[in-house]
Amino acid sequence: MKRIIYIPLDHLHRKFGALKGANSQEDVIVLVESARMTTGRNWHKERLFFLISSARHFAQSLEEEGFSVEYIKAATTIDGLKVVEKKYPKLPIVCAEPSSFRQFEALKEYGVSFIENDFFLTPRPLFMDWAKDQKSFLMESFYRKQRVRLGVLMNGKEPEGGSWNFDKENRLPPPKKYEGPPYLEHKRDEIDSAVATELGHKPTTTWATTRKGALAQMKNFFDNHFDEFGPLEDAMTSENWALHHSLLSPYINNGLLHASEVITAAVKAYKTGSVPIESAEGFVRQIIGWREYVNGMYWFLGPDYRENNELGANRPLLPLFSDPTKTSMNCIKQTVSDINERAWVHHIPRLMLLSNLALVTGTNPQEFLDWMREVFIDASEWVMVPNVIGMGVHADGGRMMTKPYAAGGAYISRMSNYCKGCAYNPKLRIGESACPFTTLYWDFLDRHKESFAKNHRMSQLVFGLNRLSDLPELKVRAQEVLKGLEAGKI
Ligand SMILES: Cc1cc2nc3c(=O)[nH]c(=O)nc-3n(C[C@H](O)[C@H](O)[C@H](O)COP(=O)(O)OP(=O)(O)OC[C@H]3O[C@@H](n4cnc5c(N)ncnc54)[C@H](O)[C@@H]3O)c2cc1C
Ligand code: SF4
């Protein structure tokens, strides 16, 4: 044997990363299930089940291909590597660049050598080149460059459909009594059962744990959901938990699928003529735009970025985040119940419900970030840190997004059917039945009016505070709401 190849549990693709040039005669493959990863935090069991079972299936597929595979359980990744080094002394250890600062440092210190991380479509140095010249890091300008560079949905130099962005068409509320096509279910096998037993968990059938299952999920999306993806992208309804979202993030993030495979399939489906441009463009923007931008920003902003708390938000995490019975807010109750069930909700509940609530209640960004990291099936450091600290709770003072994503009940009422079954009224900002989002939205603007008045995208909203004749009562109600939320009684 000539090399030890270490495969982190988010590099599970045979054709990318360190496995790209691997050879079963010369390379020993190592995967490590570290205790830090499994028991180190209050991880959602569905998430652990997905990550561990995917890794074990992947290890099995490499063995079937003829590789010597060492699948190690150890306290830490480095402890796992030490075990393998004893068995194969003096072999160099190779890995594709890991996806977090922390793992990068630990492996570097141990003497692992790296090959370029190609699990994204944008090499890290290329993103740095773009970011270093930007005054404000507008995703849209990065995205347009990506479309041209990667030649996706382009007609020569012009964007397909005559426009770069069809966002305006992609903001429909949910249709009444909405029933979409049934969601794909994934059968469980022996490996799944063993992992489930070890974890003491009864997994859903929502998430595949094999490459084959991930490919089936991708096919299901393009066959049954892609054409309607765009217009209903931002809608939320208690009648359908995912609408037409692809449910592909866990697989793209752990390597069972590569972003290039998803984009190739999207362009192919669009070329059949049955998918409207607003859906095709909307989806492509998520993959070659948002996903790449967020990863690039993680590396650009550096390891200390996660500690930002520019709004001085220090409220401890509210009890409703871990226990949906601790709130009567229907939108939050539904969202947290959905997370408890399958470790996933789409981007609007993540942004406009969960993060919005953390933002307007002044919840400590790091406590909220830790909770989000623990409960989502697709969470990793590189993706959660910019999405939460920069986009979700504006804790970076506007470095990433020019304006906080704060909203009152009117937005949630327009984009969902949650308010109909709620104890509160989205139109009211004072009184016992006032929607907590509406009250706290104005209270939030008032608390930060001095700094927001200097932001040209916020100054009009801050100016709107002058029109609130009931601001003194609203401030009193906001304190009641905050106390009630802390006590789990709102
Ligand atoms: C506060 C917050 C936290 C988030 N945390 C995560 C996370 O931990 N992991 C994660 O993968 N996504 C995260 N996202 C992005 C997005 O919510 C999820 O990627 C998406 O909901 C996954 O479901 P899907 O595959 O059906 O996505 P679709 O709606 O079908 O979108 C297609 C793909 O686009 C990519 N994508 C879209 N938006 C983003 C984004 N902002 N960042 C990265 N990728 C994106 C994902 O790979 C996704 O699979 C977060 C967004 C917000 C606002
Ligand atoms: S009224 Fe307010 S709390 Fe209730 S569901 Fe609507 S937005 Fe959520």
Residue-wise pLDDT tens digits, 20-62: 999 999 999 999 999 988 888 999 999 999 999 999 999 999 9
Which numbered atom of ligand 2 lies nearest the CA of 422? 4
Which ligand sits nearest to residue 354's alpha carbon? 1
Which ligand sits nearest to residue 387's alpha carbon? 1
Q: Is the CB of 245 under 6 A from ligand 1?
A: yes
The token pair at 382 is: 């590189």
Is the pLDDT at 307 greater than 90? The verdict is: yes
Closest C-alpha residue for ligand 1 atom 26: 247
Q: Is the CB of 355 under 6 A from ligand 1?
A: yes
Ligand 2 neighbours (beta carbon < 6 A): 329-331, 409, 412-413, 418-419, 422, 424, 426, 435-437
Q: Find the mean pLDDT for residues 437-449.
A: 97
Closest C-alpha residue for ligand 1 atom 43: 291
CA of 422 to the centre of ligand 2 (A): 6
Positive or negative: CA dihedral 234, 163, 266, 54: negative
Which ligand sits nearest to residue 393's alpha carbon? 1
Q: Is the CB of 275 under 6 A from ligand 1?
A: no
Percent of the chain, pLDDT > 90? 93
Q: What is the DSSP string of 112-146?
A: -EEE---SSSS-HHHHHHHHHT-SS--HHHHHHHH
Residue-wise pLDDT tens digits, 190-235: 999 999 999 999 999 999 999 999 999 999 999 999 999 999 999 9
CA of 290 to the centre of ligand 1 (A): 8
Report pLDDT for 17.
Answer: 98
CA–CA distance, 407 with 394 (Å, rounded to integer): 13
CA of 347 to the centre of ligand 1 (A): 6
Which ligand sits nearest to residue 423's alpha carbon? 2
Q: Is 252 left (phi over 0), alpha (psi -120 to 50) or beta?
A: alpha
pLDDT classification of 304: cutoffs 50, 70, 90: very high
CA of 252 to the centre of ligand 1 (A): 10
Which numbered atom of ligand 2 lies nearest the CA of 408? 7
CA–CA distance, 69 with 252 (Å, rounded to integer): 23
Q: Is the CB of 44 under 6 A from ligand 1?
A: no
Which numbered atom of ligand 2 lies nearest the CA of 438? 2
CA of 483 to the centre of ligand 2 (A): 18
| Average pLDDT over all residues of the chain | 96
Report pLDDT for 180.
Answer: 86
SS (H, E, C) the chain: CCEEEECCCCCCCCCCHHHCCCCCCCEEEEEEEEHHHHCCCCCCHHHHHHHHHHHHHHHHHHHHCCCEEEEEEECCHHHHHHHHHHHCCCCCEEEECCCCHHHHHHHHHHCCEEECCCCCCCCHHHHHHHHHCCCCCCHHHHHHHHHHHHCCCEECCEEHHHCCCCHHHHCCCCCCCCCCCCCCCCCCCHHHHHHHHHHCCCCCCCCCCCHHHHHHHHHHHHHHCHHHHCCCCCCEECCECCCCCCCCHHHHHHCCCCHHHHHHHHHHHHHCCCCCHHHHHHHHHHHHHHHHHHHHHHHHHCHHHHHCCCCCCCECCCHHHCCHHHCCCHHHHHHHHHHHHHCCCCHHHHHHHHHHHHHHCCECHHHHHHHHHHHCCCCCHHHHHHHHHHHHCCCCCCCCCCCCCCCCHHHHHHHECHHHHCCCECCCCCCCCECHHHHHHHHHHHHCHHHHHCCCCCHHHHHHHHHCCCHHHHHHHHHHHHHHHHCCCC
Report pLDDT for 413.
Answer: 98
Is the pLDDT at 168 greater than 90? The verdict is: no
